[in-house]
Homo-oligomer: A and B are copies of this chain.
Amino acid sequence: MTVWEIAKRANVSIATVSRVINGVGNVDPSLARRVRRVVAEVGYYPNTHARALVSGRSRTLGLVLDIINPFFSEILQTFTELGFDHDYRILLSPLTRDSRSLMAAVRQMSERRVDGLAVMSSANEDVFIEAFTGRNIPCVAVDIDHPGGLLKTIRIDYEHGIRQAVQHLAALGHARVAFIGGSANLKSAASQKIAFQKCMMEIGLSISPQLLVEGDHSIESGTAGITAMAALPERPSAVVCSHDETAIGVIRRGFELGIQIPGELSVVGFHDIRMGQYLVPPLTTVQIPQIEIAKAAFGALLDFVSAQPRKSSSSSSTITTNLVLRCSTASGPDRTTNNP
């Protein structure tokens, strides 16, 4: 079924068919109606590939992310829905670590002539992104340091998030607050750690070195961290984790060690992954709003693509965290009244 077929059945030329389908130019209403009727009757849909070929734009956006990471599932959902609403198709690519398949991903996306690309990775795939901006494909990514002409970055305000956690804990009367962070060579993790030190200092709380441990955002680093701390002469009364999964590890091992949570130990997570609310106890955490991220990413890409680049849009936008109060924190030893 092609424009030709439609044109024949409606007794018009293919140009007219094209015009009514795309709503451009002026077409006699009666002709237009005739065309529309035929289109509906035969269930005709224009061939996107032909369109892309002639127009040079594919109305397709690439999305590369760590699909299995639960943190990203809402981003994926929102991004896909936004695409759906704006008549953009989403091309999905799994995030692979080895460079061979990374190049394959570049190839696949390039062949498809995606109009834009969003990279949602916990690691920063600078080279990957350059391969696209170098090919004139606009990109959006999270926490990239040097946004340029074709690269927009979405910054997450880690410091604000950490401050929310620390202040919450301090307000509950916790002084011995521990921090289990992410890998030091992850910029985001480094920001979190620095922010933690800064915020503790602001409040006038000291950090004993044993309570500042480096993990890798995993469950295991949570279990390892809490195991080590439990052996300390002076245990912490609260711990903020750089990632919810780490917090899960803490809660789990805490349970095995017979540590009451939140009675003896308050724990705060980071990210607000979906399963946090299902934990026992439900996890208090600093939320990074995924929906906001997805919206920001999509919006940025749309800005790039749209004919009229709004001057207003800067090269970066920042996402603010929210503290989600659930049940894994309680008042600490240095304060008797609970005042959340």
Contacts and interface: CB of A to CB of B under 8 A. Distances in A.
Interface in A17-74: 43, 45-50, 52-53, 58, 67-68, 70, 73-74
A319 interface: no
B80 A67 contact: yes
A75 to B, nearest CB: 10
Interface string A98-122: 0001001101101111000000000
Given A255-B280, A274-B70, A275-B278, A84 B108 contact: yes
Contact of A80 (B70, B84, B93, B219): B93
A6 to B, nearest CB: 15
The quantity of this chain's copies bound in the complex is: 2
A47 to B, nearest CB: 6
A175 interface: no
A70 B68 contact: no
- Give chain A's interface residue range (CB within 8 Å of chain B): 35 or more
Contacts of A113: 47-49
Contacts of A224: none
A141 B278 CA distance: 30
A234 interface: no
A219 B101 CA distance: 39
Contact of A49 (B52, B67, B101, B255): B52
A81 interface: yes
Contact of A89 (B43, B45, B91): B91
Contacts of A251: 280
A193 interface: no
Interface in A128-155: 135
Contact of A108 (B89, B93, B110, B248): B89
Given A68-B77, A73-B68, A84 B94 contact: yes
A14 interface: no
B111 A47 contact: yes
Interface string A167-182: 0000000000000000
Nearest to A254: B280
Interface of A: 43, 45-50, 52-53, 58, 67-68, 70, 73-74, 76-77, 80-81, 84, 87, 89-94, 96, 101, 104-105, 107-108, 110-113, 135, 219, 248, 251-252, 255, 274-275, 278-280
Given A67-B73, A219-B278, 5 more contacts: A68-B77, A76-B92, A84-B104, A84-B105, A279-B279
8 tightest Cβ-Cβ pairs between the two chains A and B:
A275-B275, A49-B52, A49-B49, A67-B77, A48-B111, A45-B110, A45-B111, A49-B53
